[in-house]
Amino acid sequence: MSQVILPKVHPGDSISDRRQRVLVTGAAGSIGSYFAEHCRKYDLRLLVRQRDERAERLKDYGEVVAGELSDTDFLEKITEGMDAVLHLAGDPDPSATWSDLLAANIVGTYNLFSAVKKSGCPKVIYASSIHAVSGYAADVQVKVDEPVNPGDLYGVSKCFGEALSRYLAEKEGLCVFVLRIGACLPLEDAQKEKNLRNMDAFLSMRDFQHLAECCIDDQRLQFGIFHALSDNKFKRLDISRTREELGYTPKDDFFEEYPEFSEALNTPLRKHNVEDKTQQSGFRED
């Protein structure tokens, strides 16, 4: 089933005439803080939790607001006037218990979407996860059209967010982009042996930055589920639709950054096709 439905036309003033206003939830986390620090295109409102000591370092990058996803009135107030919400907040622990996930990833996500709908903000970029489909066998490259298959309760919570996103896009008129994020890490982390387990799921911070901006800037699509990985030689998730629909052009590849893989990849690979003139063919010889 296609992830793209009707084109979205936003009422009101043209955002092409001004900088877009973007709310980032979970802005004190590793992904949110990287996005805030490296974003130069938008006017940012950065949501952090109350008494989060990391909030101080965000003040140079936008308007910092402190609050909780449980406070629906607060959420409605801070989403008002925004052109988009990048929703990163939630419990990111794949081993989290149901009680923690229920508050942050289920109720909190619902509250955020409800506030967006009430305030009139037209777009949400929802941070889903590779864990929504991590239940597939390790040798399967997952396509966006395949059914969700969570590998843990954290993945289950992200499936809820994906379903809510589609409902709000198709039935309530919001513009929603769902990003199934892999192992989002600084580029230099691809050089560390401990991260070998992320080789097929690696997403560099700067590739995520680029992809999020593709979603924020897009004015054509109303809904889509998109896989978010770097351009790794081997990919757990198929990113072809992300490239085609959003113009995503990832720069990084785990296999080029990890020393042993990089050295091996510098060895020319045999091309098993008719265009490789170096290969011999018994049929051609005959």
The answer to whether position 74 is within a domain reads yes
Instruction: Quote the number of domains for the chain.
Output: 1
The answer to whether position 86 is within a domain reads yes
The answer to whether position 278 is within a domain reads no
The answer to whether position 7 is within a domain reads no
Tens digit of pLDDT at every position of the chain (286 positions): 334 444 444 444 556 668 999 999 999 999 999 999 999 999 999 999 988 888 889 999 999 999 999 999 999 999 999 999 999 999 999 999 999 999 999 999 999 999 999 999 999 999 999 999 999 999 999 999 999 999 999 999 999 999 999 999 999 999 999 999 999 999 998 888 888 989 999 999 999 999 999 999 999 999 999 999 999 999 999 999 999 999 999 999 998 888 777 665 666 555 555 565 555 555 555 5
User: What is the tens place of the pLDDT at every residue in 231-279?
Assistant: 999 999 999 999 999 999 999 999 888 877 766 566 655 555 556 555 5
The answer to whether position 217 is within a domain reads yes
Please say whether the beta carbons of 118 and 80 come within 8 A: no
User: Which one of the listed residues 154, 167, 248, 258 is annotated catalytic?
Assistant: 154
The answer to whether position 100 is within a domain reads yes
Main-chain dihedrals φ then ψ at residue 106, nearest 5 degrees: -100, -65
The answer to whether position 2 is within a domain reads no
Helix (H) or strand (E) holding 169: helix 153-172
Helix (H) or strand (E) holding 37: helix 30-38
Cα 182 to Cα 227: distance, rounded to the nearest angstrom? 8
CATH code, domain with 28: 3.40.50.720
Cα 176 to Cα 223: distance, rounded to the nearest angstrom? 5
The answer to whether position 4 is within a domain reads no
Cα 111 to Cα 216: distance, rounded to the nearest angstrom? 21
Name which of 121, 206, 196, 131 is nearest 162 in CA terms: 131
Our answer to whether residue 154 is catalytic in this structure is yes
Q: Residue 45: which domain range?
A: 17-269
User: What is the tens place of the pLDDT at every residue in 12-39?
Assistant: 455 666 899 999 999 999 999 999 999 9
Angle at 171 between CA 134 and CA 124, to 5 degrees: 55
